[in-house]
Structure 1
């Protein structure tokens, strides 16, 4: 609209210049400069209008992007919050109880056998110390497994899917099973060695009773 007004003004000035007496050289130059200034102003107005339109489009686009980013963040937050929760599928997983049972058996069996080996008097102090170090290592590994299992089963501790939690539980179960089997094999070897070291029949029978071996 403003551009049209400027065009009309230029036309008026040109008409005026036609009907007025021939101007001096200086007046002619001033008139030409005025016409150039008006034209430049018109162009500047047009540029400003284009910039305003571009800015409005940018603002609308930014608002759209911002809304999409917010929605995406909220969806992502819901997903991550879900990963912190413990589902019934994980809580009721059968191997959890099996792991706890194996851990209790390991602690109970190593304490029991270490006490029997000491009472048998068939092992040296150094041998008993070695046995204690083996049991201590097994107990430490079992404690680490128990702590890891606690983290996996505690809501808000770890961001894991149900599948990842179950895989982790399976790994703990596998390592716990192997550890318990090793302990029992180690204990059996100790019992065999203890019996082999007895020379008297009566002592041998007493050791069997001590270890709970049926004669």
Structure 2
């Protein structure tokens, strides 16, 4: 009887210990699983935060690029509008009287040489070398004057040059002074040619009068 009781107590104790061990094992197991789950949850949250930061950074970068691109295009448009405005000619400059005066001076230069050459051809007082020199001076001066006229056309024609109004006025003033100088030289040179011819003409008239006076044929 005592043996049976002892055996029962021993098995009961073993069972109790087994239950405790099993409970402790299961408790540790579930505790470990809970920790793993918590760790995985924290890792997932960290990954989501990291991905969110990347997405936000990409969004910022994309917006920044879009903004920079817009600013670039806006700046380009500003520059384009500015340079386009430089190609326009203000009415006050286009109608400036110096433009017409430059053209008028050029025509007067042409007229001075044309009249002088015609007179010299009629009088025949200059030799071939002198007449040729008169033609060379005329051609050289008119060639330079034509360059001034071409520049004048560029200054006064929209779309030709990129200049501010002040720069166009400065060019206009410069061309006007240059054409005045050419006109002054043309007047001086043709007058010298006429004077030279008249000086030669006087002795011829004197000789003609002497011949007429003395009846010399």
User: What TM-score do the two structures reach when normalised by structure 1?
Assistant: 0.72
CA 1:71–1:188: 2 relative to 1, 3 Å? same
CA 1:203–1:128: 2 relative to 1, 3 Å? farther
Answer with 1 or 2: which has the greater Rg.
2
Partner of 1:169: 172
Partner of 1:142: 145
Q: Where is the helix percentage greater, Structure 1 or Structure 2?
A: 2
Cα deviation for residue 131 of structure 1 reads 1.0
The answer for unaligned runs of 5 or more in structure 1 is 1-17, 205-215
Partner of 2:204: 200
The correspondence of residues 93-108 of structure 1 with structure 2, limited to 5 A, is 93-108=96-111
CA 1:47–1:201: 2 relative to 1, 3 Å? same
Partner of 1:152: 155
CA RMSD of aligned residues (A): 3.0
What is the aligned residue count? 183
Contact 1:89 1:162 in 2 (8 A): no
CA 1:113–1:37: 2 relative to 1, 3 Å? same
Partner of 1:60: 63
The answer for unaligned runs of 5 or more in structure 2 is 1-23, 209-217
